[in-house]
Amino acid sequence: MRYEIFKDNLKYVDEHNAGNHTFTLALNVFADITVEEYRYTYLRTLPPLPELDTLDNENNETDLFHFNGTPVVTPDSIDWRDFGAVLPVKNQGGCCNGGIDSAQDYPYIAVYKKCDTSKTNNKVVTIDGYKWVPAINENALKTYVAKQPITTSVEGYGRAFQLYGTGVFTKDRGIKLDHVVTLIGYGTEGSTDYWLIKNS
């Protein structure tokens, strides 16, 4: 059965890569599972966000785009890996519904088992606050990413996302948010603007 799934994914990858696209697909670690298995194991439908006007949000256009009355200028591109602010990707699997622990207190061992809940009180960082990025506003998003990596949600539901290889992923923007990622930069390749996303 796994071999048949692998062959079907290989055919899908080859057909995509034979076309003219801004990204390639690859036989990655998910190549021997179905898209349904991928969705069930690695993706979770995220709860809807509260209405933005009901949130206590300190941000406003002046705060976001000006500093002491001077317009904020964002660089044309940024990659937070260049500043040592991004750790290598690890396979989170479906473990612990996310979370932040130190590698020393809770080392990553790449083995599927129950999470050790006794270690949940070993705090590495505290979250002192948050900022909401205005919805569907790429200029605002770019301004925040220029300051630091930020988390966001994407639709990872598709087979192309499962078998992504390299390049600028240009599939249609999804509305079913089911995967949290970190935006670690942005730039332009040719005439195509892109976001750098760290997946796990």
The pLDDT tens digits of the residues spanning 91-143 come to 655 544 555 566 666 676 666 677 777 766 666 566 667 778 887 788 889 99
What does the block give as tokens for 120? 């949940």
- In the predicted model, is pLDDT for residue 41 greater than 90? no
Q: Where are the alpha helices (DSSP H) in 83-137?
A: none
How high is the pLDDT of residue 62? 41
> Is the model more confident about 67 or about 134?
134
Domains of the chain, first to last: 2-86+129-198 (3.90.70.10)
**DSSP helix/strand/coil, 10:** helix
Q: How far apart are CA 105 and CA 127, in angstroms?
A: 19
- In the predicted model, is pLDDT for residue 79 greater than 70? yes
**DSSP helix/strand/coil, 26:** coil
What's the predicted TM-score (pTM) here? 0.71
DSSP, res 67: E
How high is the pLDDT of residue 194? 93
What does the block give as tokens for 173? 């923007």
